[in-house]
Amino acid sequence: MTKKKEISFEGSLQRLQEISDILEKGEIGLEESIKIYEEGINLANYCYKTLETAELKVTDLKKQLEVKVKQK
């Protein structure tokens, strides 16, 4: 059983840039292009979900602060 390697948000963005550069060069075959394109889509989904979670947390923290300010 293999463990999935954890990657940070920043690491994901960096890998997405690498994938973009590779695909733009057009120096790899179709099968490899499809493989790394799929990896890019998975990374983009991960980044989107991470940003969405962060946005919800910031919104929640902001609401908590507003409630505390109104109580004073």
Q: For 7-24, how does the pLDDT look when each residue is reduced to its tens digit (9 = 90+)?
A: 899 999 999 999 999 999
Residue 26: is its pLDDT beyond 90? yes
CA 24 to chain centre: 20
Domain boundaries, the chain: 9-71
Report pLDDT for 47.
Answer: 97
Report pLDDT for 40.
Answer: 98
Residue 46: is its pLDDT beyond 90? yes
Q: Which residue has the higher pLDDT, 58 or 7?
A: 58
Mean residue pLDDT across the chain: 92
